[in-house]
Amino acid sequence: MAVFLAIESSCDETAVAILRGEPGGAAEVLSSEVASQIEEHREHGGVVPEVASRSHSLNLNSLVEKALATAGIGMGSVDVFGATMGPGLASSLLVGSTAAKAMSCVSGKPFVGVNHMEGHLLSPFMDRTAVPKHVGLIVSGGHTLLMNVRAAGDYKQLGSTRDDAAGEAFDKVGKMLGLPYPGGPEIEKVAKDGDARAYDFPRSMMQGGELDFSFSGLKTAVLYTLQKDPNAKVADVAASFQAAVVDVLVEKTMRAAKLVRAEVIGLSGGVSLNRAVREAFSSRCEKEGIELAVAKPGVCTDNAAMIGFAGLLRFFAGKCDALDGDIDPNLRL
């Protein structure tokens, strides 16, 4: 049995979680605290790195104290410390990783560095005793990745974005439509009242067996549509755009699952909160006889619980890290 304190600070969410688990058993989340910075960045229309790192520094100590109190333990009960080492904003990553390393150093307990994307990738299976073989789709603000997961720690990339990630495209189109930041949740709201067939937006890179993604052409098509028709109904544009993204995500993921003969699909990342995305995947997986595992809402957006879960699995596999290791803003799985 091990108690793991995890810190996530890769972008604009400061998060601390405490998990308890043992090899071969499901992890128990004792506490999961998140301090959101959305309001701080909304006026800028996006994340400002300097503002993000400063907020992490201001929030982290109190968040650690809150997580310990919620878990009902003291710092001395923590067996392992971990933090996100990348990918992400360098100035933000440094805050969380330095804090976790300091606690590790002072306590003499192990430190485990975690890949942010691995946290997302494994998050649909946090309540299971083992991570099954599956195809995982991570779809978030900064990443759209298709991975062949043979086991925890054994991954092969099948597809990634050539330009904008799906979540980034949502945010940029939301801005075009005059919606508040972040655009993803706002587009989902207005799309409910729109006609998804109003505009035939492109579904890029769908030919052949292509598994990479490209959403820049779709974003440009929305821009040209709005320029051509300034009075276009926002709900219709939003619904048509959302439908195009969903079609691409579902089709390419199913294509990948058939390629590697996967019986399970894992869906994670902030965009997986989108109801249209979830419903489309659920319907298609049921039709194809494939099990769908979706990350629970609380661990879809950036959080430390998913970092702690991935960290626990690394720790049980004997993968601890030296305290002089550096962050990597471009870290890959």
- pLDDT tens-place string over residues 227-237: 999 999 999 99
Residue 286 belongs to a domain = yes
CATH number at 218 reads 3.30.420.40
Which whole number is the average pLDDT over 148-155?
97
User: Does residue 270 sit in the same domain as residue 308?
Assistant: no
Residue 325 belongs to a domain = no
Report strand pairing: 264-268 vs 134-139: parallel
- pLDDT tens-place string over residues 152-162: 999 999 999 99
Spatial separation of the C-alpha atoms in residues 113 and 84, rounded to whole Å: 6
Burial classification of residue 77, based on how many CB atoms lie within 10 Å of its CB (0-12 exposed, 13-18 middle, 19 or more buried) = middle
User: Does residue 145 sit in the same domain as residue 261?
Assistant: yes
Which whole number is the average pLDDT over 262-287?
97
Spatial separation of the C-alpha atoms in residues 254 and 168, rounded to whole Å: 22
Spatial separation of the C-alpha atoms in residues 308 and 313, rounded to whole Å: 9
- pLDDT tens-place string over residues 14-61: 999 999 999 988 899 999 999 987 767 777 777 888 888 999 999 999
- pLDDT tens-place string over residues 182-198: 999 999 999 999 999 99
Report strand pairing: 13-21 vs 28-36: antiparallel
Mean pLDDT of the chain: 95
User: Does residue 117 sit in the same domain as residue 176?
Assistant: no
Burial classification of residue 198, based on how many CB atoms lie within 10 Å of its CB (0-12 exposed, 13-18 middle, 19 or more buried) = middle
Residue 330 belongs to a domain = no
User: Does residue 37 sit in the same domain as residue 72?
Assistant: yes
Name residue 137's amino acid.
Answer: L
Tell me if 86 sits within 8 A of 331, measured CB to CB: yes
User: Does residue 25 sit in the same domain as residue 63?
Assistant: yes
25: left (phi over 0), alpha (psi -120 to 50) or beta: beta
Residue 271 belongs to a domain = yes
User: Does residue 267 sit in the same domain as residue 214?
Assistant: yes
In this predicted model, which residue has the larger pLDDT, 181 or 190?
A: 190
Which whole number is the average pLDDT over 93-121?
98
User: Does residue 119 sit in the same domain as residue 138?
Assistant: no
Which whole number is the average pLDDT over 246-274?
97
pLDDT of residue 51: 85
pLDDT of residue 36: 81
Spatial separation of the C-alpha atoms in residues 58 and 252, rounded to whole Å: 41
pTM comes to 0.95
Q: Residue 1: CA atoms inside 13 Å, Cβ hemisphere, count?
A: 4
Sign of the dihedral defined by the CA atoms of residues 114, 116, 249, 26, in that order = positive
Looking at the structure of the chain, the number of domains it has is 2
Residue 210 belongs to a domain = yes
* 207 pLDDT more than 90: no
Other beta carbons within 10 angstroms of residue 128's beta carbon come to 13
Spatial separation of the C-alpha atoms in residues 116 and 34, rounded to whole Å: 15
Domain of residue 173, residue span: 133-294
Of 86, 24, 120, 79, the residue nearest 332 (C-alpha): 86
User: Does residue 180 sit in the same domain as residue 277?
Assistant: yes
Residue ranges of alpha helices (H) inside the chain are 38-42, 49-71, 90-107, 116-122, 166-176, 183-191, 216-228, 234-260, 275-288, 304-316
User: Does residue 116 sit in the same domain as residue 255?
Assistant: no
User: Does residue 240 sit in the same domain as residue 160?
Assistant: yes
* 93 pLDDT more than 90: yes
Of 88, 96, 12, 80, the residue nearest 47 (C-alpha): 12
Tell me if 8 sits within 8 A of 119, measured CB to CB: yes
Residue 332 belongs to a domain = no
Which whole number is the average pLDDT over 128-149?
95
User: Does residue 275 sit in the same domain as residue 162?
Assistant: yes
Residue 9 belongs to a domain = yes
User: Does residue 85 sit in the same domain as residue 158?
Assistant: no
Residue 93 belongs to a domain = yes
